[in-house]
DNA sequence: CAACTCGCACGGTA
DNA sequence: ATACCGTGCGAGTT
C-alpha cells in the first residue's frame, strides 16, 4: 500500500539528478537555486525508508515516483527472456492513421493481460494475450514494491533511437483513474519528457518547464494521478541510441461488465 | 578564439 | 497517434 519514499539524499534529485542535462541555461540556473536550498533537512527520516530508494518527481499536477527496481544482472536476464517470449503485432495491427494517412508505428507493440480483457488506445481496440511467465513475474515484482495490482500491460519495443513515441496522455476511459501506471524499462536508456498541457504550442498562456527524465535499464516509473490529466509525455528520437529498449506499462483496466 | 559546418532537437503543420 | 520541414543551437573543427 504505502510507498516508502526516501526523503533524504534523493529528495532533490527529481529536479537535478533525474533531469537530463539541458542545453538551455535557464534550466541550469534553476537547478543551482534549488541546490542551494534543501541541503540540511530530512536526515532523521532516512531510517523509515524502504529498501527501494524512491525518487519523488513533482510539479504542478505531476506526481511520479522513480526507482531502480532490478539490478543490472536481473534486468539483463529479463530483457533476454522478453526478447524470446513477447510476440508483437504485425500487419494492419502495426499501423496507425493520422490526418488521413496510414503510417507504420515507429516501434513494436504487444498487449498482455487477464483473460477476456480488451483495451482501446490510439483509436483501436484489441484484446490481451495471456500473461507470459516473465511478464507475470515482472508484474508481481511491481506489485510487491508498490502495493498496486495490475491486470494489463502494454509492451513497446524501440529497436534503437530512431524508434519513438509522440506526445500523448494515457487518458483512456477504461483505465482505473485511481491506479497509477507503472512503467518498467529494460535495455537502452532513453530520455522521457513530460510537458504540461497548458505549456504547449507557441502562445501557450503558461510558461511551465518540461520535466525531463532518463529511464534506466531496470527502472520503474510510477505515474500517479492526476499526472495523466495535466501532463503529456513522449519518448523522443535520440539518434545516438543504437540499442533496443523494451518498455512495459502496467495498467488497471476497469471491468466492463455489460453484455 | 572567431568563423564556419554539421547534425540534432524542437515546434508547427497537415 | 504520425511524418515532414524550417529554424536555431551546440559541438566540433580549423
DSSP state of A100: T
Q: Which CATH class is domain A57-251?
A: mainly beta
pLDDT tier at A40, thresholds 50, 70, 90: very low
pLDDT of A45 over the 80 cut: no
The Å distance, CA of A103 to C1' of C3, is: 8
- Extract the C-alpha cell encoding A101: 494517412
A200 grid coordinates: 504547449
Torsion angles phi and psi, residue A187, rounded to 5: 95, -150
- Which residue is nearest to the C1' sugar atom of B14, using CA? A99
A33, pLDDT greater than 90: no
CA A25 to chain centre: 27
User: Helix axis angle, A72-85 relative to A133-146, nearest 10°?
Assistant: 140
Residue A203 Cβ under 7 A from any strand C atom: no
Q: Check the annotation: does A104 bind a ligand.
A: no
The average pLDDT across A123-147 equals 94
Q: Give the dihedral of Cα atoms A196, A185, A134, A83; nearest 10 deg.
A: 120
pLDDT of residue A29 exceeding 50: no
Q: Where are the beta strands (DSSP E) in A132-244?
A: 152-158, 165-168, 181-187, 190-196, 211-215, 219-223, 231-235
Type and span of the H or E element at A50: none
- The pLDDT tens digits of the residues spanning A175-191 come to 999 999 999 999 999 99
**What are the beta bridge partners of residue A7?**
none
| pLDDT at position A143 | 97
CB A186 within 8 A of CB A218: yes
Q: Which residue's C-alpha cell is 511491481?
A: A142
Q: Is the CB of A123 under 7 A from strand C?
A: yes
**Segment holding A63, helix H or strand E:** strand A62-68
Measured CA A246 to C1' B14 distance, in angstroms: 31
Assigned C-alpha cell, A39: 541541503
Q: Is the CB of A240 under 7 A from strand C?
A: no
Output the CA torsion sign for A41, A43, A48, A50.
positive
Instruction: Tell whether A164 is in a known binding site.
Output: no
The Cα–Cα gap between A241 and A64 comes to: 25
A171 marked ligand binding residue: yes
Residue A166 marked ligand-binding: no
In this complex, which residue's CA is closest to the C1' atom of nucleotide C10? A23
Per-residue pLDDT tens for A236-250? 999 999 999 999 999
Angle at A84 between CA A78 and CA A85, to 5 degrees: 85
**A171 beta carbon < 7 A from strand C?**
no
The structural domains of chain A, with segments of one domain joined by +, span 57-251
A168 labelled as ligand-binding? yes
pLDDT in tens, A198-255: 888 666 777 888 999 999 999 999 999 999 999 999 999 999 999 999 999 999 999 8
- Considering only residues 213-232 of protein chain A, which place a Cβ less than 7 A from any atom of strand C? 232
How much is the pLDDT for A5? Answer: 42
Nucleic acid strand C within 7 Å of A97 CB: yes
Predicted local confidence at residue A25, as pLDDT: 32
Nearest C-alpha neighbor of A220 from the set A249, A253, A243, A245: A249
Amino acid at each position: 500500500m504505502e510507498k516508502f519514499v526516501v526523503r533524504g539524499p534523493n529528495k532533490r534529485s527529481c529536479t537535478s539528478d533525474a533531469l537530463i542535462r539541458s542545453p538551455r541555461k535557464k534550466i541550469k540556473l534553476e537547478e543551482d537555486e534549488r541546490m542551494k536550498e534543501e541541503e540540511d533537512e530530512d536526515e532523521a527520516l532516512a531510517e523509515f525508508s524502504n529498501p527501494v530508494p524512491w525518487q519523488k518527481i513533482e510539479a504542478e499536477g505531476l506526481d511520479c515516483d522513480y526507482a531502480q527496481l532490478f539490478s543490472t544482472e536481473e534486468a539483463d536476464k529479463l530483457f533476454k527472456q522478453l526478447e524470446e517470449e513477447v510476440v508483437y503485432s504485425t500487419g494492419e495491427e502495426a499501423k496507425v492513421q493520422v490526418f488521413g494517412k496510414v503510417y507504420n508505428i515507429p516501434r513494436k507493440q504487444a498487449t498482455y493481460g487477464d483473460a477476456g480483457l480488451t483495451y482501446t488506445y490510439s483509436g483501436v481496440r484489441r484484446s490481451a494475450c495471456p500473461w507470459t511467465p516473465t511478464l507475470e513475474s515482472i508484474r508481481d515484482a511491481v506489485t510487491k514494491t508498490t502495493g498496486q495490482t495490475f491486470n494489463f500491460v502494454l509492451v513497446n519495443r524501440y529497436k534503437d533511437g530512431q524508434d519513438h513515441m509522440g506526445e500523448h496522455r494515457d487518458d483512456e476511459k477504461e483505465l482505473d483513474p485511481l491506479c497509477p501506471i507503472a512503467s518498467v524499462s529494460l535495455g537502452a536508456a532513453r530520455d522521457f519528457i513530460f510537458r504540461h498541457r497548458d505549456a504547449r504550442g507557441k502562445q501557450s498562456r503558461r510558461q511551465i518547464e518540461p520535466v525531463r527524465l532518463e529511464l534506466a535499464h531496470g527502472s520503474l516509473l510510477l505515474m500517479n494521478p492526476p499526472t495523466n490529466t495535466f501532463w503529456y509525455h513522449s519518448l523522443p528520437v535520440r539518434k545516438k541510441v543504437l540499442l533496443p529498449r523494451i518498455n512495459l506499462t502496467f495498467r488497471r483496466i476497469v471491468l466492463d461488465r455489460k453484455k
